[in-house]
Amino acid sequence: MPALRLLRRALPDHRVVLLGSAWVGDVSGYPVDAVTDDEGAPAPDVVVNLHGRGPQSHARLDARAGDRPVRRVGHAAPGWDGPAWVDDPERPERRRWCDLLAACGLVSDDEAAAAADDLRLPVPPVASEALSACSPHLASSGRKAPSSGPVVVHPGAAFGAKRWPVRRFAAVAAALAGDGHRVVVTGAHDEAALTGAVAAACGGLDLAGRTSLGELLALVAGARLVIAGDTGIAHVATAYGVPSVTLFGPVGPAQWGPPADPRHVVLTDASVRRGERFADDPDPALLAVTAEDVIRCARTLVGEATGPGDR
């Protein structure tokens, strides 16, 4: 998002069209003018690769450019001038893309540095009851929505290396439910075994696969706290300024974690990190984080949390 905002400022006379998934249209305030697929993409005069270094992503943009004289903004590749791709685990990934625009002459180095940590999204409309987006599921369960936002627990992750043991998520959820907090567990359809175990341990609401993207965003925006591994929902909490505890495994928080902010706690142990991103079992840096560690941080954050209007 920071790089997209910079791009819009750098090219104010252009429409910014994202070549990607339609779900982006459900994200209120996402800094693009339109989202389209390959077939519907308009003829560009500038193509910008903010996805990777190719060859697939470069080739996809080259196909849209065709034989027209098009300015190409991206990392160095055949047919593309630009800075070399550098892997640096201590460099925030959000900074990579802002620096790319600076290296290609669209913004200054100072502008890139100043913009990189602005991950904010406008909070989507939420009713006074934080679970209003999920009201059909509340109604079917016979439960009432709380007067303040829920604690959202997200136990899933795309790969086992980033997946904290479900029994630890369950212990954290049970402790917070015991403190009187309403717990909602989120995940995809194929994560129902994980979410079901956590919800059963705390008496919480299991919403795995039961929300649209817009409903999930509204739920996170209205939450009191989000607890998750290094996944997309943790980044959403950062964007909405929602207090969060994020657990990092094979990739450290310096690269993918939130900017320094007391509302966002990151937990890991770099001294034992194995670093195999796609392994089937949890990274030792993740396993070094105990349920007690998370409970302690969560209790501190919920004691200081504010409502959406105060963020």
Q: Where are the domains of the chain?
A: 2-115, 132-310
CB-based contact 153:275 (threshold 8 Å): no
pLDDT per residue of the chain (311 residues) written in tens, 0 to 9? 899 999 999 999 999 999 888 778 778 888 899 888 877 778 899 999 999 887 889 998 998 888 888 999 999 998 899 999 999 999 999 999 999 999 999 999 999 999 999 999 988 875 333 455 454 544 444 444 444 799 999 999 999 999 999 999 999 999 999 999 999 999 999 999 999 999 999 999 999 999 888 889 999 999 999 999 999 999 999 999 999 999 999 999 999 999 999 999 999 999 999 999 999 999 999 999 999 999 999 999 998 654 443 44
AA identity, residue 98: C
Give the separation between CA 231 and CA 246, rounded to whole angstroms: 9
In 89-150, DSSP assigns E strands to: none
Architecture of domain 132-310: 3-Layer(aba) Sandwich (3.40)
| Phi, psi at 18, each rounded to 5° | -90, 125
Give the separation between CA 166 and CA 156, rounded to whole angstroms: 9
Does this model's pTM top 0.75? My answer is yes
Outline where 75-227 has alpha helix (H). Answer: 93-103, 109-115, 135-141, 166-178, 192-202, 213-221
